[in-house]
């Protein structure tokens, strides 16, 4: 058996742990040959692959990034290198030439959308859900999320002591694209006074009101804002536009926008931190290593059983798999009545939404944590 493996989209902690788990279990259980595909789908387009030995995938469990390299613009259905040409037939032809029985693709919503289309063309694919954003459908968790939340929480802890010392408003901007999972979980874990999410439109006036109230009492305020958070009457703040991409926007900058708006309403000094790629680098947490190893071995089992066209998933703490079509072209955002939102609101955290009222009779029982 010959199996290709690639990592697509933005990198995240745990990619190497999955590569190790997929490759080792396929080699040990099935005697498979494992082919590493370089730089995501770009490696299939540009014909850059190499055989991985057992030694290649040893000692990488705790290493951040990906030994294979990744790419978040390479799309076989709209190849940027040839004016957006569809080169998917060439990609399929190259996989056939290599004699691959299956490609295991580690990626997020974008990668799974590509995988679904390649599967429909007859290429056997097994997907593994990666992303710090935790925004993939049909899985309670993606690996990388726990590490990003841990890093953002540590940042909030540090901002709190310096913010408190200077009586300042400290704003931390997290990643997450159109989903607020990182900001929500880090905000809860770091005890933020205000959490701003793309899913709950805020008003500057309400955020200012919270800061003012705290100026008179605690004298400092910690705000955790997701990069996709939007004011009720505003637009998302875009950092960069990447042409030839189905998702051409790179978000970023909302913290500085909010600082400028807030400074008109409050007298405290305001400082901002855009955490950026720090939350995507470095070693995975123990949780992400366990999740990545479980996902990787589950993916290898699907390959061995020839159950293609599926993505491994965690549902209700159990390992399972779902059809790629249930994941492709979808984004899992934070439901406004998510457990985290209820819990944060119940302990007095503001979401910057003036009309948001918590019904004390609403039972959190049965709500999903993420
Ligand atoms: N809905 C989509 N359909 C097809 N390709 C997509 C879609 N969304 C994103 N892509 C492409 O998938 C690739 C990876 O997407 P990206 O969002 O960067 O990473 P991830 O796989 O982590 O979500 C990029 O080439 C992007 O252009
Ligand atoms: O590395 P880039 O191109 O600046 O992209 C930043 C984006 O990638 C992420 O870090 C991860 O997203 P993906 O998992 O979809 O690649 C987002 O949170 C962020 O908006
Ligand atoms: Mg994505």
Ordered DSSP codes for 308-364: -SEEEEEETTEEEEEEGGGTTT------TT-HHHHHHHHTT-B-S-TT----TT---
Average pLDDT of 269-279?
97
Report the length, in residues, of the chain: 370
Query: Which residues belong to the active site?
Result: 133
Ligand 2 centroid to residue 209 C-alpha, Å = 32
Query: CB atoms < 10 A from the CB of 82, how many?
Result: 10
> Measuring from each residue's beta carbon to the nearest atom of ligand 1, which residues come in under 6 Å?
8-10, 72-75, 107-111, 113-114, 131, 245-247, 329
218 is in an annotated binding site: no
Stretch 102-125: mean pLDDT:
97
Q: What are phi and psi of 308, to 5 degrees?
A: -95, 170
3-state secondary structure of 88: helix
Identify the band that residue 323 occupies on the pLDDT scale cut at 50, 70 and 90: very high
pLDDT above 80 for 169 = yes
The confidence score (pLDDT) of residue 246 equals 67
Average pLDDT value for residue range 99-122: 97
C-alpha dihedral sign at 131, 132, 136, 139: positive
Which residues approach ligand 2 with their CB closer than 6 A? 9-10, 72, 108, 110, 131-133, 175-177, 227, 250-251, 280
Mean pLDDT for the stretch of residues 141-149: 98
Determine which helix (DSSP H) or strand (DSSP E) holds 207, and give its type and residue range. helix 204-216
Name the β-bridge partners of 319. Answer: 314
Closest residue by Cα to atom 7, ligand 1, is: 110
Domains and CATH numbers, the chain: 2-143+284-326 (3.40.50.450), 147-281+335-362 (3.40.50.460)
Q: Best of 75, 110, 125, 181 to mutate for ligand 1, by most ligand atoms within 8 A of CB?
A: 110
Ligand 3 mean position, distance from CA 331 (Å): 8
Q: Is 347 annotated as a binding residue?
A: no
């Amino acid at each position: 058996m010959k199996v290709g493996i690639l990592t697509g989209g933005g990198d995240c902690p745990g990619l190497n742990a999955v590569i190790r788990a997929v490759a080792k279990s396929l080699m040990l259980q099935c005697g498979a040959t494992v082919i590493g595909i370089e730089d995501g789908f770009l490696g299939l387009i540009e014909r850059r692959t190499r055989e991985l030995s057992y030694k290649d995938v040893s000692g990488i469990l705790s290493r951040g990034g990906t030994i294979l390299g990744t790419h978040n613009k390479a799309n076989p259905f709209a190849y940027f290198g040839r004016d957006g040409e569809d080169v998917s037939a060439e990609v399929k032809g190259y996989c056939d030439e290599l004699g691959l029985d299956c490609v295991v693709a580690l990626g997020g919503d974008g990668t799974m959308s590509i995988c679904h289309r390649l599967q429909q063309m007859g290429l056997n694919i097994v997907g593994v859900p990666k992303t710090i954003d935790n925004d993939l459908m049909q899985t309670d968790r993606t690996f990388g999320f726990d590490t990003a939340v841990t890093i953002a929480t540590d940042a909030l802890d540090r901002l709190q002591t310096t913010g408190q010392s200077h009586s300042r408003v400290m704003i931390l901007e997290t990643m997450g694209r159109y989903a607020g999972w990182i900001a929500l979980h880090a905000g809860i874990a770091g005890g933020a006074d205000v959490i701003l999410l793309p899913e709950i439109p805020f008003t500057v006036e309400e955020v200012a009101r919270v800061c003012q109230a705290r100026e008179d009492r605690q004298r400092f305020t910690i705000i955790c804002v997701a990069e996709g958070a939007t004011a009720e009457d505003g637009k998302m703040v875009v950092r960069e536009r990447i042409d030839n991409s189905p998702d051409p926007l790179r978000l970023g900058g909302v913290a500085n926008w909010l600082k400028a708006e807030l400074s008109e309403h409050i007298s405290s000094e305001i400082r901002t931190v855009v955490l950026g790629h720090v939350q995507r680098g470095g070693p995975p947490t123990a949780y992400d290593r366990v999740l990545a190893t479980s996902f990787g071995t589950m993916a290898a089992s699907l390959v061995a059983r020839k159950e293609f066209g599926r993505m491994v998933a965690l549902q209700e703490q159990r390992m399972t798999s779902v059809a790629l079509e249930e994941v492709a072209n979808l984004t899992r955002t934070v439901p406004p009545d998510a457990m985290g939102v209820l819990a944060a609101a119940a302990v007095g955290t503001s979401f910057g939404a003036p009309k948001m009222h918590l019904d004390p009779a609403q039972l959190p029982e049965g709500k999903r944590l993420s």
